[in-house]
């Protein structure tokens, strides 16, 4: 059975953010992930995590001005200094919270623009150099353009090529089954071929991004495949509950 992590940005929204940790533990989760902790002191987030007896699976580096529509900085022109500072901020939080992984968001830029690709590769190289010695791994995630129009990294093969090009053990793929299905389909074959480069998996139904088992994919078969492939990381439940979080957890009880 995969080890599932509750995504506290999407799940348990019945509670204030800092109360979602205990709610996730009470619902049976052993780990959590979320987009961003930066509105709260790292020590407070760490305290909530520890009191609830949870592990942190990952969180994202600062994305720029999220509310103004920014979705990361790594490939964005003119934001290089801010990106480097954000690596420092994220690493500081990761050390205190105890997160083994950080998601580096690319931002809105044209992947076919050679200058943007060079900027992105340079940013990833910088981030790997800055975090590797601390034992904090990095992941990059292809995201579909329907949910995030204009996002730089919108192709799984391109993402894998980038990971292979940087060629450092601490840079890996975040394989979100929801994005994979929307972008390319062929989920199980992609899991099989990309598994050596995958450090984090996420799941949601397609197309509504609700609970697993409620969309067009056979999620039970995919979870069996993830097990069969020997994946020992977390599968982040990055879905929007169709009703209350609790009412929607029957799929998890089956596992
Ligand atoms: O949107 C997703 O999918 C994610 O995993 C986030 O980290 C980025 O918004
Ligand atoms: Mg995701």
**Six-digit token string for 118:** 């060079």
Q: Is 33 a catalytic residue?
A: no
- Does residue 2 contact residue 226 with C-beta atoms inside 8 Å? yes
Residues having CB closer than 6 A to ligand 1 are 35, 60, 103, 141, 143, 176, 179, 202, 238
ipTM tops 0.85: yes
- In this prediction, residue 230 carries a pLDDT of 98
Residues, CB within 5 angstroms of ligand 2 (ion): 176, 202, 238
Q: Does position 129 have pLDDT exceeding 90, yes or no? A: yes
Nearest to 24 by CA among 232, 237, 254: 237
Pairwise CA distance, residues 74 & 214, whole Å: 34
Task: Say which residues have a Cβ less than 8 Å from residue 98's Cβ, sequence separation at least 6.
Answer: 46, 49, 55, 56
Give the count of domains, the chain: 1
Residue 85 DSSP one-character state: H
How confident is residue 253, by pLDDT bands cut at 50, 70 and 90?
confident
Alpha helices (runs of H) in the chain, residue ranges in sequence order:
20-26, 42-51, 80-97, 114-131, 156-166, 177-183, 187-194, 219-228, 250-253
Report d(CA 102, CA 128) in Å as an integer: 11
Question: CA 75 to CA 125: how far, in whole Å?
Answer: 12
The CATH number linked to 226 is: 3.20.20.150
Choose the catalytic residue: 43, 80, 132, 238: 238
Per residue in 181-218, pLDDT (tens digit) is 999 999 999 999 999 999 999 999 999 999 999 999 99
Q: Kindly indicate the confidence band of residue 254, based on its pLDDT and cuts at 50, 70 and 90.
A: confident
Q: Is the dihedral of CA 145, 223, 32, 196 positive or negative?
A: negative
Contacts (Cβ under 8 Å, ≥6 apart) of 80? 119, 122, 123
Atom of ligand 1 nearest to the CA of 71: 9
Task: Give the tokens for residue 142.
Answer: 């292809």
- Structural contact between residues 11 and 23, judged by C-beta atoms closer than 8 angstroms: no
What Rg, from alpha-carbon coordinates, does the chain have?
17
Q: Is 30 a catalytic residue?
A: no
In angstroms, the CA 248 to CA 255 distance is 14
Question: Domain range holding 178?
Answer: 3-253
């Amino acid at each position: 059975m995969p080890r599932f992590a509750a995504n506290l940005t999407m799940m348990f929204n019945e509670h204030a953010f800092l109360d979602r940790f205990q709610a996730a533990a009470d619902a049976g989760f052993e780990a959590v992930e979320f987009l961003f902790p930066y509105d709260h002191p790292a020590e407070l987030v760490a305290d909530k995590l520890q009191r609830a007896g949870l592990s942190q699976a990952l969180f994202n580096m600062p994305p720029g001005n999220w509310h103004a529509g920014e979705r990361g900085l790594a490939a964005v022109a003119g934001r290089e200094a801010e990106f480097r500072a954000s690596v420092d901020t994220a690493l500081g939080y990761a050390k205190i919270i105890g997160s083994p992984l950080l998601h580096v968001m690319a931002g809105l830029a044209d992947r076919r623009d050679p200058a943007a690709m060079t900027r992105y590769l340079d940013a990833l190289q910088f981030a790997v150099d800055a975090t590797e010695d601390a034992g904090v791994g990095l992941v990059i995630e292809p995201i579909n353009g329907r949910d995030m129009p204009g996002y730089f990294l919108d192709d799984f093969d391109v993402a894998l090529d980038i990971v292979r090009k940087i060629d450092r053990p601490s840079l890996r793929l975040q394989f979100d089954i929801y994005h994979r299905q929307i972008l390319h389909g062929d989920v199980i074959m992609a899991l099989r071929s990309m598994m050596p480069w995958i450090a984090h998996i996420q799941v949601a139904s397609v197309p509504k991004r609700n609970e697993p088992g409620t969309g067009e994919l056979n999620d039970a078969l995919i979870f069996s495949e993830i097990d069969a492939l020997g994946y020992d990381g977390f599968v982040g439940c990055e879905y929007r509950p169709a009703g209350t979080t609790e009412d929607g957890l029957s799929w998890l009880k089956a596992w």
